[in-house]
Every structure is written in C-alpha cells, then in structure tokens.
Structure 1
Amino acid sequence: MAPPGRTSRGPQGGIFASLVRFYQSSYASDYLGFAVLTTTFLYIQFFVEPFHRLFFVNDLNISYPHAVVERVPVSMNFVYSLLVPLSLILLFNTAFGSHVHKHHVSILGIAIALVLASTVTDIIKNMVGRPRPDLLARCRPALGTPPNTLVSIGVCTETDHHRLHDGWRSFPSGHSSFAFAGLGYTSLFLAGQLKIFVLHNSGSSPSLTGDRDKTIVHVRGDLGKILICLMPLLGAAMIAISRCQDYRHDVYDVCTGALLGWTIAYWSYRRYWPHFSSLHCDEPYPGPSLPSRNDDSSSGRLRDEEEGFREV
C-alpha cells in the first residue's frame, strides 16, 4: 500500500516532483541542452587538438599564402551572424507588438541553431583534420624536408600553437556554418512572418453552375517580400565566399559548412514554428505549459496536414 499523499507511481509532492513538473512544463530542457552544447563547444575550442593528416611539402593545394588580416574575422562573423540577426528579429517583433512568448522562442531558436552548428562543425573539423589551403605558410617546414614524401606535423617549425594546429581545421568551414545558421534562421523567420509561402485567395468561389470564370486562383507572396527574405542568405553567402578569398578554405569546405548551418537552422526553426504553408506560420507553437490553439490536448503542436491551407 502506498503511504498517504503518495500513489504507487511515485511521489506527488516535494522538491523532486516540483522540479519534474517544472521541467515538463517549461523550456528547461532546451536551456539545459543549450548549456551542454555551449560547454562542449568551449571545451573543444580550448582543449582539443585536431587530427593531423600527413602532407607533401610540395603540394600546391596547400601552398597558398596565410592572410594575416581576414576579410571577415571571427569577431565580425559574430556581429554579422549573431548580433545583426538578433537585432533584426527583436526589432521586427517589437514593431508589430509581439507577445513575450514570441520574443522568447525567436531568441531561443536562433541561439540553439548557432551553438549547435558551431559544436557540430568543430567536432567534424577535429576528427577530419583536413589541411587548410594555407597550411604550408602556417607550418613553415624545416629546411631539407624532402618533397614527394608524406611528412607529419613534426617537420613544422611554427611555434604559435593556435596558428599551427588550426591549419588542420579546414573541413567544414566554421564561418560558413555559423553564418548560415544565424542568417539562415533570420531568413526563415522573415519568410514565416511575411507568409511568403502561404496561399492567398484571389477571386470569388465557384458558382453552383460551375462557372470557370469564378474559380479561386491561389497566389503566393509578392516578389518584394521574397527578396527581403533572401537578403540574409546573400549575406551568409558573401561571408562563406570570403573564406575562399582568404585561402582559409576551398569551395568544398564552404559549401559543406553552408549546408550544415542551413540544415540546423531549419531544424531549430521548425521546433518552435509551424510549417510555412500554415495560415498561422507567423505565430510560434504554444509553450509547454500553454494549451494548444486548436485543441485541448497537452501537445501544443499541430500535424503538418492540420497546418495546411484552409480556404476562408
């Protein structure tokens, strides 16, 4: 027999039960995951060295000069891909009088996209250990190192630890994945807010006689709105291209990084927002503790087929 105040399924009160209820009825799991990802990212940055592939000292593919001054340094990539998108999202929400929950998930979504993209990118970078196009300029091989012979990092004379070891972190491009995670999320956010993929009615409904001239024509958002949504992606592409101009990466690196960042941005966005064809795509899913908009179930999400276009 269970003691008074308890059931056979476990405690219903106390600190532990309160924590469980809080965890289940809030975004606590998201914040916990964000903290774990951030800690993992920082650990990789400061304590993990990449795998060092063997290389040829006469390999022209890794013989490009080392650009001391980058077109988009790490600090400016944070500005372009984090601060600018975050400011645009907050300004947009504020201008249209958005509620607190919408502000919350907008910030949480882009934050998770950026830290997840950065963590995954760095894990892959260190495991692959692909030499950058400017590796030889970083390595400064010792005189007398034989050509046409695979050699290791042991032939390098560079003493700057970061400059040397970062030469084996070419694939995929971190700038590209970070840019497409932040600016890509912004593009998706604008597409949802401006409803560029939602079908709109044009004309009246068909008459009872089946008059074809009165058939509804479905049209999508105007080109101006579409171009607004594409501008963040253009900025992300320019950041990615700059990495080839600085000889930090090749096209393969930046394309893979861009695809990775965009995929994570879309995944993070759809965790909080309905499908783009939904009439309610400009409003986030209700929070864990809030009732669903269309039903009384505990889940705040709708199936994609329920989010689809409905004629009104």
Structure 2
Amino acid sequence: MSHNGPGHTSTSMIHRVGLAGAAARFAQHSYGPDYIALGFLVMGWVLIQLFVNPFHRMFSLDNKSIQYPFAVHERVPVLWSVIIAGVIPFLVILAWSAMVRAGVQKTQVTVLGLFVALMLTSLLTDIVKNSVGRPRPDLLSRCKPARGTPNNALVAWTVCTESNQHILQEGWRSFPSGHSSFSFGGLGYLYLFFCGQMHVFRPRTDLGRCLLAFFPLLCALMVAISRLDDYRHDVYDVTCGGLLGMLIAWFSYRRYYPPLRSAICDVPYDKADLAGPDGFAKLDDEEQGLVRPFLSRGGPSGETYQLQDTESSR
C-alpha cells in the first residue's frame, strides 16, 4: 500500500538527489532556515523605517488627551532601550553559557531565540503602529497647529507646522508602545530562560531563584512605565505593547525549549531528536505542555522512574 501523506512527502524530499534534496536535508538538520527567516525580519523592519509613514487619524485641538508636553529628553531613549532589552540579555546569556559550559549548540539556540523574539516584536509593533495611526498624548506639542485652526472641529494632520518630519510623523505612532513591546520581548525572553535553567516552576523552589528570574520582568516594567512619565503613551498603549512583547517572547522561547514545568526544561530541543531517519515525527506529550509521567534514565536496562513518586519522596 502506498503512503501519500505529509510524512511520505517529506521523506521523499529528504532522500532525493540534487538541489531539492540537499535543501530539505539542510532544513532538517540545521538552523539555517531560521537564520534566513531572521534576515527577512530584519529586512522588513528596515524597509518600514525607511519608506512607511503612519496613517494620520484626525484630531481636535480641544482633546485634552493629546495636550501633554513634548519631552525633549526621554527617561529611556531608544538607544538605551536597545541596550537594556537587547544587548544586556545577549551578554547575560553568553556569560551564563560560559559559566555552566553550556556548549555551542545550546548557546546558539538560545541566542537565536532571543534575536527572533526581538526582531519579530519590532516588526509586528511597527506594522501595527503605522496601520492604526493613533495620536500620542503629546501630539499637539509635536504638531504646532497653524493659527486659525478651529478648536472644536476634527482637523487633518496638514494643519501642523512642525518642520521636523521625524518628530511630526512619530506623533501618530502611539499604539502599541514600542519601548514596552521591545523590553518585554527581550527581557521577557531572558525571564523565560532563567525560569527554565533554574527550574523555577518545580515544587518548592527557593525564593532566591524566583526573585532572580523575575528581575528582568521588573526591568521591562520600569522601561514601560517611563513611557507614561514622558507622556509618550497612555496606559492602554503600554499594556498592549507589553502583552505583545511577552507573547512573542514566549512563542520564540517555546520553539526551542520544552515547557517550564518539564523535568528537562533546561535542555533545548535537538533537531536530531525531532527528526528521525524518515523525516519529522510526532512530538510526545511534553511538547503539548504536559509533563511526561515517565522519563528514561538512559541506562542499559531501560530503567524508568515516575515523576509523581519522585516529587512526593523528596
């Protein structure tokens, strides 16, 4: 009987001679496709920065929610947000890997997940920002409306007299907060990494590990709050930005690591385990968020132990 399902198709592609077969084997046994996709994310983000202007929602001069002053000096400038949520997590992961001698494969997977989280968060945030075109709380200070503009009527952005186009266009990029999403994307990923490496979600974990794991989230929260203090965003913008960044951080982390309640949550997935000789196989229950009731000890007799009994005997 012939098998024409997806598994048979992937198997035939892997064993095929030529460029198609080589590409299939490359995709199966390496993270090259992830690096290629990451490159496209970077390219898309750069193109948005260079060529895309936001949608300009109409506004009214008597709208008190957009009458806040423009903060010339931000509490957390863009450069510092990149350092706090991008550079520092990257250096922390490298230092952690050096201290525990994690190896090249684990370090590569962890750093790749961080970069994917940061770039995917940045790209999606900017797409939503430009599509929504929500005015910032300091819009009128940026716009500098022309004299004679009616106070109680909706007007278009063409009434603005601000000559600096960057300052003016940024006035319609309020939702969601980019600082919030980026900080929770990078520092949220570092939080998940700490939780996995220190088994924070196992029963009766000591408080010190929990505090260390949650510290990156506190830093991300402070970055997000700074956007409220600078009147760059309101609570709605910051909350949605933080949720977006945390969701993408979780998505990126879980692509490479097991669930945090797993007994082996500190060990990343190995492509050799996910793909057998005949192509990709179905993952076990752990990939579905369940803790496996039995784990192989790897001994010559194939001995297993039950997690529930092990936990209760501690």
Same fold? TM cut 0.5: yes
Residue deviations 1:146-183 (CA, integer Å, cap 9, x gap): 11000001100011111101100000000000000000
* In structure 2, distance between residues paired with 1:156 and 1:238: 33
**1:248 equivalenced with 2:248 (yes/no):** no
> 2:70 corresponds to which residue?
66
Whether the 8 Å CA contact 1:291–1:298 is kept in 2: the answer is no
Matches within 5 A, 1:1-312: 12-198=16-202, 219-286=203-270, 288=271, 290-291=272-273, 298-299=280-281, 301-304=283-286, 307-308=291-292, 310-311=306-307, 312=310
How far off is 1:57 after superposition? 1.2
Do the aligned residues in 2 keep the contact of 1:109 with 1:268 (CA within 8 Å)?
yes
- Taking the aligned partners of 1:69 and 1:253, their CA distance within structure 2 comes to 20
Q: Is the 8 A contact 1:187 1:230 kept in 2?
A: yes
Counterpart AA for 2:142: R
8 Å contact kept, 1:67–1:246: yes
Q: Tell me how far apart the structure 1 counterparts of residues 33 and 282 of structure 2 sit (CA, whole Å).
A: 16
In the alignment, the residues of structure 1 paired with residue 230 and residue 81 of structure 2 have an alpha-carbon distance, to the nearest angstrom, of 14
Which whole-Å CA distance do the structure 1 matches of 2:221 and 2:145 have between them? 34
Q: Which amino acid aligns with 2:91?
A: S
Q: 1:42 to 1:294 in 2, by over 3 A?
A: closer
For residues 25-79 of structure 1, the C-alpha deviation after alignment (integer angstroms, 9 at most, x for no partner) is 2112211211111111111111100000000112111011111111110100010
Q: Rate the CA distance shift 1:292–1:131 in 2: closer, same or farther, 3 A.
A: closer
Q: Look up the equivalent residue of 2:217 and give its one-letter code.
A: L
CA apart distance, 1:220: 2.5
1:172, 1:257 within 8 Å by CA — same for their partners in 2? yes
Structure 1 148/195 Cα, relative in aligned 2: closer, same or farther at 3 Å?
A: same
| Equivalent residue, structure 2, for 1:206 | none
Distance 1:293 1:92, change over 3 A: farther
Structure 2: 5+ residue stretches without partners? 1-11, 294-305
1:94-125 Cα deviation digits (max 9, x unpaired): 10111211101110001000100111111110
1:135–1:167: 8 Å Cα contact kept in structure 2? yes
**Distance change >3 Å, CA 127–CA 292, structure 1 → 2:** closer
State which structure, 1 or 2, has the greater radius of gyration over its C-alpha atoms: 1
Instruction: Please provide the CA RMSD for this pair.
Output: 2.2
CA distance in 1, matches of 2:285, 2:251: 16
TM score, norm. by length of structure 2: 0.85
- Please give the TM-score of this superposition, normalised by the length of structure 1: 0.85
Tell whether the 8 Å contact from 2:65 to 2:137 is kept in structure 1 after alignment: yes
Letter in 2 for 1:291: D
Question: Secondary structure, in 3 states, of the residue corresponding to 1:91?
Answer: helix
Aligned residues of 1:274 and 1:307 also touching (Cα < 8 A): no
Are 1:124 and 1:172, in contact at CA under 8 Å, matched by a contact in 2? Answer: yes
Does the CA-based 8 Å contact 2:180-2:224 persist in structure 1? yes
CA distance in 1, matches of 2:276, 2:30: 20
Q: How many residue pairs get matched?
A: 282
Per-residue Cα deviation, 1:276-296 (whole angstroms, up to 9, x for no partner): 11111011011x2x2359999
Give, in whole Å, the separation in 2 of the partners of 1:159 and 1:107: 41
Q: Percent identity?
A: 47
**Quick one: which amino acid aligns to residue 112 of structure 2?**
L
Amino acid at match of 1:35: G
SS of equivalent residue, structure 2 residue 255: helix
User: Unaligned regions of 5+ residues in structure 1, if any?
Assistant: 1-8, 199-218
Q: Is residue 275–residue 281 contact of structure 2 (8 Å, CA) maintained in 1?
A: no
Between 1:296-305 and 1:173-182, the stretch displaced more is 296-305
